[in-house]
Structure formats: C-alpha cells, structure tokens
Amino acid sequence: MCSRTSVVAVETTFNAELFEWRGPAPFYWLTLPDEVCDDVRAQARAASYGWGAIPVEVRIGDTQWETSLLPRDGGYVLPVKKQVRTQERFGDGDTVTVAMTVAPRGGRAANGSGRAT
C-alpha cells in the first residue's frame, strides 16, 4: 500500500464491462460509472500528475496493481493488463467487480512500475 498525503483517498467498488480498443496496439479498458467519475474528479487536482492521468491502486479478484485512469468522453477509463485478465480469467465483454483507490501524487510516482501482484 502506498503512503497517503493529507488528501482523503477515494475508495470505491464498482462493476464494469471490459472492452477492447484497437489503436496502434490493442488495449483493454473498463469505463468507470458516472458516480465513480464524480468522486475521481473531486480528487483530480491533488492526484493527477499531468495529461489528465489519475494514479490509482486497483484490485480485481485476487490481483492488485497500480495504474492510471485516463480521461475519455467526459469520464475515465481504467486500463487492464493482459496479466490481470489471464490471472482472473476474464475477457472482452465480461463484467468484473473492481475495487479502486485514487493514489494522490504523494502516494505514487508518475513513473511507478504499476506491476501486478
């Protein structure tokens, strides 16, 4: 777990459907529900390290990792690594339960490894 600053972290659980976005390389994402986006926006200034990216700690099933939310269509999307999809056995179109905490800038460096554990 990362250290915390005086900013209160957003801790939430939500369900979202995995989708594939094919850009230069295929990536898999979960779209955050509107109410979760509202909570994240309230913390964005203290948490963001630029470009609208918001560092988060995430858990799906037994797999926990660090990554960053990215802005999309007025909300946020959460990237999901192949390692996580494989370990937790889900894929495109599946709905998963996500536990997520916004990690303020003092809690995670912008160049953190984001390794799944």
CA distances 105 to 9, 10, 15, 29, 96, Å, are 11, 13, 26, 23, 27
The proportion of the chain whose per-residue pLDDT surpasses 90, expressed as a percent, equals 55
| Average pLDDT over the chain, rounded to an integer | 81
Q: Is the pLDDT of residue 1 over 50?
A: no
pLDDT at residue 111, as a whole number? 47
pLDDT at residue 31, as a whole number? 97
Q: Is the pLDDT of residue 100 over 70?
A: yes
pTM: 0.78
Average pLDDT over residues 22-29: 79
Average pLDDT over residues 84-110: 84
- The predicted-structure confidence for 36-92, as pLDDT tens digits, reads as follows 999 888 887 777 776 788 999 999 999 999 999 999 999 999 999 999 999 999 999
CATH number of 11-105: 2.40.30.100
